[in-house]
Structure 1
């Protein structure tokens, strides 16, 4: 009887142990979606293995490199699921990625593949530009308007951080949207005058596709001492006087050039007039000589005429007969 009891007890214990031992199920694995994946999409995995067991899961890229290695636990029915096994990033190689699952109880492996493609994916980060108003080489304790311009609509507020030289902690600023397309954002900042020297503004922003862009702008913080203000005012007055003096000098130079031009014109006109007067004098002198000649010729002609008249008269008186000498007519 004792031997039978021992045998029955052993069989009962064996049956109990077998009942507690997990029963192996056919190992399966599948991705969250059978279609292609693109950068920034999340890969999830589910499957069936031995109930209440830890299965190992590995992910290999197209070049065969191990990217993820982890575990998942099955439930009472053998089902397991990993909602975020891996998030594909820009820079991951395109091609087929292998998911490999191992069930240590069943001693089985199962695998499947998913494809990563960049086709149709927006992977360009936003181009960010930082603009300061007013635009100056140096800033004191004054209000500065900081504008962030993006070539793509932003998904969230840009993160704006200001760093000043030797300042223990940077300053985080909250930006506000200016446009309906979320491409222009602004905020304000007043430099801390206790930390003069170089300063930097850093902007980090994410676009609608999840691309991260970054921009940096440097400026200088320099606070003027009180004694500099009157000196600066004096310098401004001196500068204004210099500008006025320079303007007067330019006017005098212009007048001098005009006078020189006028003098050159007068000299030219005077030379022309002198030449004309000289020519006129020569003509007058020539005309005077001709007049003298004409007068002389006229006088000579007149004397000749008088001479001829006198001779003619003499000849006439000689030829006229008188009564005493008149011939006696013949009978």
Structure 2
């Protein structure tokens, strides 16, 4: 995967940052460990025909330390739910949405995607519980219920307000996509999602209250199988880690799609990151190669923050 200059931020980035980007599409902060193993893993995937996009920011320095094709919009599956959660939290904060309003799943088309609600006896849940399910378990039915309540146009407006010009939520989750359906749930650029997660932990998304609420929902995320697999955290209870590790993330999974964005902070540094890999899911070996690249990134992120 060839290094890519920081195109879309050229107008707002400092001259020093633009010079750094021009010298190396993936630059590591001075005195910190490099991401050479990650670059090698992603290059190997790209040579094999995968589409790869990655972006890592140092939260303290406010600068990119790893960049590769981060401006490209790729399918991101369930990762695209994050702007929906932001809009839900914003409407609750503005008293436009009752957090305890009950939504009935019987009014929604059935979807056999990931999640828990479809296996529960309770046919109705309040909005806040649906947000927890969508954030923590990637619950497709819960996300669809929130989207039906909020409306896709509101999410698109929120994306524009957040400055996510290369990202979009296109549709609800579906078991099958016909010719009249959008081809994907969501598209996203890793540059924008890494920045979104940095803004969440820095209380810059809509309001500090909205940032805190969305961060809390995401902090319960159960999917630590990609980049987060090397953290050693308990997937079901990883708040207040005794080793001083701060972590939140959201993953996206689809046919031939793996995506993850998040924040990882330790005693030495903090980073926001996003990685998307779109590949031909022809065999378990193809899938495991993609997963291995996430784990390599996770390991080097851990080395960076510790």
Normalised by the length of structure 2, the TM-score is: 0.21
- Structure ID, larger Rg: 1
Higher helix share: 2
